[in-house]
Structure 1
Amino acid sequence: MLESLLINFFFLLVPVLIYLIFFEYRSFTYNKFIIFVFAAITMVLCMVFPIKLEIGYIVDMRYIPFLIFALYVGYRYTFLLYIVLNITRFIIGNEGFLQSLAFSTIILFVVPLCHQWFIKQPPKKRILCAIIVSMSTTIFYDLTLIAFIHALDREYWTLVVHTLFTHALVMAVIMILIEKIIANHMARDLLFQSERIDVVSHLAASVAHEIRNPLTVTNGFLQLLGKSQTITEEEKMYIEYSLIELKRAEGIVSEFLAFSRPQSENMVYSNLEAETEYIKNIMTPFANMHDVQIQSSVRNTLKLRYDKNQIQQCLINLFKNAIEAMRDTGGTLTIDVSEEKRAVVVKITDTGIGMTKEEITQLGRPYYSTKKEGTGLGMLMVYSTIRKLNGKIKVESEKGKGTTFSFTIPTS
């Protein structure tokens, strides 16, 4: 029995290690397919090589990959896994196929309901949730067997206890490994993001001020030249084009300057209420142009120390992006400032065009923008500002429904 148990555990463990070594760096969509293949193979192997007990019962761990997949992925691929499970069980034959079909059908319809809630939880809660789900399904399955087993002796209840403990332990080990992979992936992304921001920050500090001065001088001379009475209309048109491009260049330089270190003369100690109200007031005319309503709520008593100019520029960039995402249809822009334990939470929500998961993963990268005319520096500045405050950023979006951009800043 111990040998069969270790073999089943081996079937569950190896795919996790293979994924970690060979497939961790693949894209999200490709990863989901690979995970499905691994889960299906693991599930089939657990059924083909079950744990045969001396008292005559046969158990396996087929539902551990099935449950994990349902919790992390949801209905779409889980339905395919459900088909693989029951086809394999039908081919294996023997008694119990109908019970297995009914039980797996219940899991298919119930467990993926927790998917959206599950993926939003912190790692420790996800591990605990998976263990509870595994134990609950094991208990439910054992209780359903009562209808088919007439003599429930001590050996049966001993089997139930051992099965329950084994499933919980194996689920805990696999979930810890999975969450470790996820944590490593997030840490690597954060490291890359920090390196990108540092590069841009150094570039901004060394170049931006030097570029701005000649741009200002050139702008002034072009304006004077445009007032000359001796140039033709065509030449005036060229000057206007030059001024437009200079203005755009100055805007890019201004965005670079926002990456500089916080200035002592701009530091304040506040709960963000004044900045929220100020940004709402100056962005309202721009919002009205695009039929966007701005709603704000400040329910925060905690105070932070921050560079006022940088926070204001950060909020302006987020407001501007949100409004531009709703410029064709109008909508509502909501900013909510609240407190959570010892941290300030800011959520900016729009009802605009939304983004795909791939687009969300690209946010904060230099020169990446979802807008054709965008430079990506505005969002990079947002990530840089929040990083300086040791904050964490989270983006939730759905195509056609809108985006919620939230960041959490600790007070100490």
Structure 2
Amino acid sequence: MYFLKEIILQLFFGLMPLVMFNIYYRDQPRNYSQKFIVITSMLCLFFSMTFGASAVSGYFYDIRYIIMFFGMIFGGIHTGLILLAEFVLYRLYLGGEGMWVAMAILTVTFPLSILLYRLYERAKRKLIITITAGAFFSFVPIVFVYMYNPQSILDHLVFHIFVVPIQNLLGCWLLISLFNKAVLDKQLFIEYAQNERVKAIGHVAASLVHEVRNPLTAIKGFLTLMRGSRLEPGKTERYIDICMSEIERTEYILSEYLSISKPNSDEQVPSDLQAILHITRDVMNPYANLNNVVLEIESPPEPVWILANPDRMKQVLVNFIKNAVEACADTPHGDGRVALNLQISTRKVTLKISDNGVGMTQEQLNHLGSIYFSTKSSGTGLGMTFSYQAVHTFGGTISVESTQGAGTEFTIKLPLYRKKEQGEPWRSGVHIDIKNKDI
């Protein structure tokens, strides 16, 4: 029972990078970094060596070699060298009879780790390399200890034949295989989310073509009038003013579209949500007009400050408004309406996005925001997943009420940002409150 506890403890330490990856990068629009691998691997190595299994005083058996191999695979040779330095320094500190045996083992296992790392990079069947690494890291230390102190092996034969190999083989397979799967899944999500964003921006761009064509048609008409006949100076100036006004309107539409379609950054800064909302409304208006939907907005005249990434906030609004417009596109009598209502209270900013579209069922509401769930037959649902994660990152909450056949209302609440001299901004954890009204 004691040995089982030791195996479980070592496996727990070995899976620490996987657990921390799923926690830290859950709401991040990016994958792991080398810095993350270095930090988590160093922590994992420290704990595994501190609480290593031991059948003979001075001899510690843990998953140190597995962690160094893992660090090389996902962080490169530099990460492996950092972990090597940590191991040497900490093993010297721990001391004991088996200290110099551990150093001798390292002279074999570390070059072996580099060789296996190179093979892993090229291999199509990576599982074979992973299992081979676990086997080598199990038996090489046992062979060295046997050469130095054979009696310690013979006196605890069960421990060395079963516990050490199981600990290393299982640890290597679980850590590398599961972490690799988590990384690939995250990368797949990022790529799908980017494709969803490009798709949404493409739909908006199609509607902008119609919107830009109108002022260009007007400009062309007035220029034709000015060239084809002699006009009074007053009329010529008025026509020029109209043309300039239409050109400025076109420039505004295109510049705001470009501000939304540019790549998102990660930095959160004080952002005026009122200005962001109006900019997004102006960009989405052509899309709403194309679908015969009226887009209304109500907001305070003064700036409404939140701590957020403005590019990601714009994308969140694009996703919500686009979904609301599409939900209203098929409403009877062509009376589709999407209302944006921004309110400010003492500590919170509340944005309500409501429509009179098709609404959602209770089952659809229960899965809303989940990866790959969409109420549209051709959708992936990643636009909403991105939006929920972004609002969570900004310290906000999302709630939704929907009546099937009568419309949906999303309520986004975000902490009101205040400058340092006025106090730090308030933040709250994310939750999703779902209500469904049956007719």
* TM-score, structure 1 as length reference: 0.46
